[in-house]
């Protein structure tokens, strides 16, 4: 029992040590001076998923990794790259998971098909639950 408690404490402590003690990237929390560029960067950041948080965009996440990703987006926008180019680069670097709108492929098919399968399963269960018994 004591070993289990120790293991649980160690597992619970892992997320606390996920971020480093390094200062954030220069553009992680600083907006670009050009409001048009910042608007483009912000729009792109809303569509990219934080690879650490999993449920938040990099625009909303406070994770260190999300800050680094925001800084990369802003640097590339500032250098004149188009959002579509930056999105492709991010997908190449982090995989399809980084996008909230992954393309349909063999690796992402479960993401697209699971809701349909669950909906069909729910309809089947509802039909059986509300069907009149036959005599």
Residue 123 lies in a domain: no
Q: Look up the domain containing 67 and give its range.
A: 17-102
Give the least confident one: 9-23, 29-43, 47-61, 78-92: 9-23
Return the DSSP state at 53. Answer: T
Q: Which residues contact 115 (CB under 8 A, 6 or more apart)?
A: none
The total number of structural domains that make up the chain:
1
Closest among 48, 37, 88 to 70, alpha carbons compared: 48
Residue 109 lies in a domain: no
- pTM check: above 0.75: no
- CATH assignment at residue 97: 1.10.8.640
Q: How many CB atoms lie within 10 A of CB 96?
A: 14
**Residues 105, 106, 107, CA angle at the centre, nearest 5°?**
90
Residue 22 lies in a domain: yes
pLDDT per residue over 47-60, tens digit each? 999 988 868 999 99
pLDDT per residue over 101-116, tens digit each? 777 778 778 877 889 9
Q: Which residues contact 75 (CB under 8 A, 6 or more apart)?
A: 27
d(Cα 27, Cα 77) in Å, to the nearest integer? 11
d(Cα 64, Cα 23) in Å, to the nearest integer? 9
d(Cα 118, Cα 134) in Å, to the nearest integer? 27
Residue 59 lies in a domain: yes
Residue 60 lies in a domain: yes
């Amino acid at each position: 029992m004591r070993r289990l408690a120790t293991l649980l404490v160690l597992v619970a402590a892992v997320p606390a040590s996920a971020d480093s003690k390094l200062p954030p990237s220069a553009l992680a929390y600083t907006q670009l001076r050009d409001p048009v560029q910042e608007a483009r960067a912000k729009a792109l950041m809303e569509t990219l998923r934080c690879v650490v948080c999993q449920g938040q965009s990099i625009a909303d996440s406070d994770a260190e990794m999300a800050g680094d990703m925001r800084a990369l987006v802003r640097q590339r926008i500032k250098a004149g790259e188009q959002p579509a180019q930056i999105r492709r680069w991010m997908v190449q670097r982090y995989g399809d998971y980084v996008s909230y709108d992954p393309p349909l492929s063999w690796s992402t098919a479960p993401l697209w098909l699971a809701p349909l399968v669950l909906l069909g399963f729910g309809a089947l269960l509802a039909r059986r639950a509300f069907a009149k018994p036959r005599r």
